[in-house]
Chain A
Amino acid sequence: MKKKKTRTFALYGAACMILIIEFYPVLWTFLTSLKTQEEIRWGSSVALPKSFCLDNYVKVLEESNLLTYFKNSVFVTLVTIFLLIVLSSTSAFALQKLRFKGQELVLAFFMAGITIPIHVTLIPLFQIYKNTGILNTHISLILPQIGFNLPMSIYLFTAFYRFIPDELMEAAVIDGASVQKSFLRIMLPMSRNTVATIVTMNAVFTWNEFIFANTFISRNELKTVPVGLYDFVGEKGAVDWGSTFAAISLVLLPILVVCFVFGKQLTAGMAAGAVKE
């Protein structure tokens, strides 16, 4: 019995140690953001801040476009997720519950998108956007992110619809509802867990998306948080650590909150994607 207790103790000890290592970069970022310019220059980089100095935050909010970047990211993320849910739930419904020839083929067509690297589409998309005037608009970020995240979302919805018995819909249709209505009133509300998983997962993906934003947006007032932060860090990173890490902390905060509150949905989505086969 005593041996078992020591083992449990060792396990928890190890788990906590790893937790500290995992969170050190985040903690260090917050601590550094509270330091004064002098402390950063002359003190040890691992020392705790001597005082609780919020000057760096004031400076970031006053001098940078961070709030604009936030506004842009919120807009892009909300629109992307909304359209993604609408498109993937309806097409998964069609692939799973409606009846037509070639359903399997269409599903395979979408699934082919899972392994395709984003980078292959960058050059053509850049040219297409340039010629159609979409370059430097938020549409240029929203469209490809819907396209690339559709396969996984459609997959998750089809996996769920497969387990809803057809009789449920038939009953509604006999009661006089159209197919569209029974989808909206029965299928979609039942799949709210799937919706929650897809929303949280893609909120994080879209919020952090870097490569499209770095390629298609060059006007400052349209940039999203990752690229805006990248520019800010490039400008201040070597000189002004205080405001660099204050800006980073402001960016990390909402993501961490989402991660803590919706941790279950987030991790469920990640696991569902791989455990499928």
Chain B
Amino acid sequence: MDRMLRNKKTITLFLLPSIIIFSATVILPILWSGYYSLFHWNGIGKMRFAGLENFTTLMKDSYFASAFFNNAVYLMINLVGQLGVALVLALMLSHIKRGNTFFKTLYFAPAVLSGVAVCQAFKNFYALDPPGVFNLILKAIGLGEFQRVWLGNMDTALGSVALIECYKNMGIYLVILYAGLISIPSSVIESAKMDGARGWVLFWKIKMPYLKNVFGAALIMAVNGLLKAFDIPYITTYGGPGDATELVATYMYKTAFSSAKYGYGSAIAVVIALECIVFVSVLQFLLKRNQD
């Protein structure tokens, strides 16, 4: 038996195809990206070695700085709008006895909708001519003077695009946090209630400590996803107006595939990867320390 399970041929047959595909499509391209980032290259002509020049240029690139800043704002809005809202809704659903699966599945639905579809609907909601639903609501509640072209305005575009991302992905975190909430043993909650814990105290002192690991995992997932956010700003505003909704990933994409600066684009890609690795490691470290 042991000999059969140690058979080299069987192991190779079961494992090698995955290792090859994974290496070829994920690991190798990443290393390759690092290599490209050290060159000036337009994709067709000769590659000129640049050393770390692309990275020093990047540090002085004011357009990159604003993309980075936008990305930070985008991240913050979405952490509140996805994790915060998801937590509130998960708590609400955990109090509903009948039909919570029904509500959960339907709240989750926007996450599976095609991004292009959601973005196009919201584009019309944000419009002023003809007035979309947001502007109509403002008018109806007497705040008509706040009506505007939400996506065409430098001040409101980023927040408006971020809201679409919140709408689309909140459901994922709702499902995750809800799974965490219902896995708290009911005996724990019952005995806390016996001791007189209610509402806020019950949540903060009893439920939250149980939920910490799941919340931490959700936080890591959200940060990791938002640092590389791409689809929704790209589809909705293509980074505009001006640089108002330009994020790091959309800037990288345009630099490489529209401006044909493959070396510089790769340098931005490397920065995105580093950001993800650093943030995720720091969060993981903080969560681990918190557990002990």
Pick from B96, B112, B116: contact of A259, CB below 8 A: B112
A256 interface hit (Cβ, 8 Å): yes
Cβ contacts A to B, 19 pairs, < 8 Å: A19-B107, A23-B106, A25-B121, A28-B121, A90-B18, A117-B269, A117-B272, A119-B230, A123-B36, A143-B21, A147-B24, A174-B1, A208-B112, A208-B115, A226-B116, A229-B116, A251-B116, A271-B176, A275-B180
What's the Cα separation between A103 and B92 when bound, in Å? Answer: 43
Known: A210-B231, A266-B108. A226 touches B114 (CB 8 A): yes
Q: Separation in Å of the B134 CB from the closest CB of chain A?
A: 10
Q: Separation in Å of the B75 CB from the closest CB of chain A?
A: 14
Q: Separation in Å of the A177 CB from the closest CB of chain B?
A: 10
Categorize the interface residue count of chain B.
Answer: 35 or more
- The contact string, 1 if C-beta is below 8 Å from chain B, for chain A 71-93, is 00000000000000001101101
B214 interface hit (Cβ, 8 Å): yes
Known: A143-B21, A210-B231, A229-B114. A122 touches B92 (CB 8 A): no
CB-based contact B30/A120 at 8 Å: yes
CB-CB nearest in chain A for B180: A275
Question: When A and B form their complex, which 8 residue pairs have the shortest distance between CB atoms, in order from nearest?
Answer: A147-B25, A263-B105, A121-B29, A124-B32, A271-B179, A94-B14, A124-B29, A91-B18
CB-based contact B265/A270 at 8 Å: no
Q: Which residues of A contact B153 (CB under 8 A)?
A: none
Q: Separation in Å of the B231 CB from the closest CB of chain A?
A: 5
What's the Cα separation between A113 and B224 when bound, in Å? Answer: 12
Q: Which residues of A contact B7 (CB under 8 A)?
A: 179
CB within 8 Å of A: which B226-250 residues: 227-228, 230-231, 235, 249
Q: Separation in Å of the B136 CB from the closest CB of chain A?
A: 6
CB-based contact A106/B15 at 8 Å: yes
CB-based contact B218/A119 at 8 Å: no
What's the Cα separation between A108 and B188 when bound, in Å? Answer: 35
CB-based contact A117/B10 at 8 Å: no
Which one, A9-17, A56-64, A191-199, is touching chain B? A9-17
CB-CB nearest in chain B for A146: B21
A260 interface hit (Cβ, 8 Å): yes
CB-based contact A123/B266 at 8 Å: yes
Q: Which residues of B contact A258 (CB under 8 A)?
A: 112
Known: A118-B228, A121-B29, A150-B21. A267 touches B105 (CB 8 A): yes
CB-based contact B14/A11 at 8 Å: no
Q: Separation in Å of the B235 CB from the closest CB of chain A?
A: 6
A38 interface hit (Cβ, 8 Å): no
Pick from A148, A179, A229: contact of B5, CB below 8 A: A179
A67 interface hit (Cβ, 8 Å): no
Q: Separation in Å of the A139 CB from the closest CB of chain B?
A: 11
Categorize the interface residue count of chain A.
Answer: 35 or more
Pick from B6, B96, B231: contact of A98, CB below 8 A: B6
Q: Which residues of A contact B157 (CB under 8 A)?
A: none
Q: Which residues of B contact A91 (CB under 8 A)?
A: 14-15, 17-19
CB-based contact A147/B22 at 8 Å: yes
CB-based contact A22/B115 at 8 Å: no
Q: Separation in Å of the B198 CB from the closest CB of chain A?
A: 13
Q: Separation in Å of the A234 CB from the closest CB of chain B?
A: 10
CB within 8 Å of B: which A251-277 residues: 251-252, 255-256, 258-260, 263-264, 266-267, 270-271, 273-277
Q: Which residues of B contact A156 (CB under 8 A)?
A: none
CB within 8 Å of B: which A237-261 residues: 237, 241, 244-245, 248, 251-252, 255-256, 258-260
Q: Separation in Å of the B175 CB from the closest CB of chain A?
A: 5
CB-based contact B122/A122 at 8 Å: no
What's the Cα separation between A215 and B273 when bound, in Å? Answer: 19
Q: Separation in Å of the B138 CB from the closest CB of chain A?
A: 13
Q: Which residues of A contact B178 (CB under 8 A)?
A: 271
A48 interface hit (Cβ, 8 Å): no
CB within 8 Å of A: which B243-292 residues: 249, 252-253, 256-257, 262, 265-266, 269-270, 272-273, 276-277, 280
CB-CB nearest in chain A for B216: A277
CB-based contact B133/A122 at 8 Å: no
Name 9 extra pairs, CB < 8 A, besides A22-B109, A154-B18.
Answer: A18-B89, A45-B132, A113-B22, A124-B33, A127-B32, A148-B25, A150-B21, A226-B115, A248-B121
What's the Cα separation between A95 and B183 when bound, in Å? Answer: 29
CB-based contact A123/B124 at 8 Å: no
What's the Cα separation between A225 and B115 when bound, in Å? Answer: 11
B28 interface hit (Cβ, 8 Å): yes
What's the Cα separation between A18 and B170 when bound, in Å? Answer: 12
A54 interface hit (Cβ, 8 Å): no
- The contact string, 1 if C-beta is below 8 Å from chain A, for chain B 114-154, is 11111011111101001111001000000000000000000
